[in-house]
Amino acid sequence: MSLDRKDWEWVLTCFGTAVGAGILYLPIRAGLGGIWPMLILTAIIFPITFVAHRGITRVVASCPKPTDIIGAVEYDLGRNVGFAVSILYFLSIVTICVGYATGVTNIVESFLHNQLGIVGTSRTVLTFLLLAGLTGVILAGEKFMVRITSMMTFPLIIMLAGLSIYMIPQWNTAILSAPFEMGDVFKNMLLLFPVLVFAMNFSPVCSTLAASYRSQFGAEEAVKRTDGVIKWTSLILLVFVMFFVFSMVLATSPEVLAASQAKNVDILTTVSLIVSQPFLQYLIPLIAFLAIASSYFGHFVGTREGLVGITTRVMTWNNPAAEANLNLKKINMIVTIVMMIGLWFLAVYNPPILKIIGALSAPIIAIYAYLMPVMLMKRIPRLFIYQSKTAGFIFVMGLVGIVGDFAGSYL
């Protein structure tokens, strides 16, 4: 099916959702694992990403009434299961916020120390100021935040693509020197796959995508159109993300990447310290900051909405009609303050971001985007026609996404 203008707009929206802070940490894990896990996973990640995300949109787009993923599940399996899905969705994005809050602090802290020569800054104060500023943009209103985010997204994508091309003359063969050993390749594939799942993930927008098409078209047409959007998004993501990863890995060395992991910083912060051009030493950290800040906005809002939804559902569990009388503005403000304080404490602690991605964020994303749609298509009669021969493979890869970091760390 050929895509029209509206379809391509949704492709860009899904693409922009995925391209953010995730790909800034992927090259570090990929480079530490060697070239073979990168090549093998590059060969299989497109069908995995496509089928998994397509499963989410099909659940929503085929629902007899226009609704989101939670409403679609509630329609077929009841309120309790829908509530469980809302909790799962919330967990899939709240851990990402922790990584982003930590990452943005580390970027600015490294910039102040290495580029500006400012030492001795208080991490506690710096983290509070950064999170207060970013959260302030969100509190300024949805329209203002969307305007800021949209202004950042496409220049960011262009800059990341330009940097990938710019680094080509710096490519070297350091990563190719490691011998091929099946045990090490398998171990590093287990460690890399969860981070790749995270970097290629645009599942938070899939429910909105499918609900939008279902409100305009019948179920069959909505499924057909969303399938096309998901396919092209997955394909463009494959080319963009993996070219960036290969370029960054080939332009550095395993030793440099190991130091980056130890310092808990992203690949762009690392590159800014090894390039010789003064202009790039200042521009590249700015790109990294914009990447994480734009991702932080979307995921903070999604986390807040999820937590508000869970809170109101619990408060009105025995009387759903009472939800209309709740002071949602007050609840939103309380949840925002609680979230910011929690993220502040965690970011000051500086947890390892790759471990957050691999051991926390990616497993929950795998449950939500890989396992849940497969299980729903086995359980809900209207979804039987969407069962495919690849479902078993997607389910298995979802399990790998859940246990990969844990298993790889102990092999």
Please give the structure tokens belonging to residue 216: 């305009």
* Nearest alpha carbon to residue 245 among 324, 345, 175, 316: 175
Contact 244, 21 (CB under 8 A): no
C-beta neighbour count of 142 within 10 angstroms: 9
- From first to last of its 411 residues, what are the pLDDT tens digits of the chain? 678 888 888 888 888 878 877 899 999 999 999 999 999 999 999 999 999 999 999 999 999 988 888 889 888 898 888 888 888 888 888 888 999 999 999 999 999 999 999 988 899 999 999 999 998 888 887 667 767 776 777 788 889 999 999 999 999 988 888 778 899 999 999 999 999 999 999 888 888 899 989 999 999 999 999 999 999 999 999 999 999 999 999 999 999 999 999 999 999 999 998 888 888 899 999 989 988 887 888 788 878 888 888 898 888 888 877 877 888 889 989 999 999 999 999 999 999 999 999 999 999 999 999 999 999 999 999 999 998 889 999 999 999 999 999 999 987
Ordered by start, the domain boundaries in the chain are 5-410
Please give the structure tokens belonging to residue 252: 């550095």
Distance (Å, rounded) from C-alpha 149 to C-alpha 290?
9
Distance (Å, rounded) from C-alpha 256 to C-alpha 293?
25
Distance (Å, rounded) from C-alpha 154 to C-alpha 137?
19
Q: What residue type is 390 in one-letter code?
A: T
As a residue count, the chain comes to: 411
Distance (Å, rounded) from C-alpha 3 to C-alpha 11?
10
Please give the structure tokens belonging to residue 158: 């262009």
Classify domain 5-410 at the CATH class level.
mainly alpha
C-beta neighbour count of 239 within 10 angstroms: 10
Q: What residue type is 285 in one-letter code?
A: P
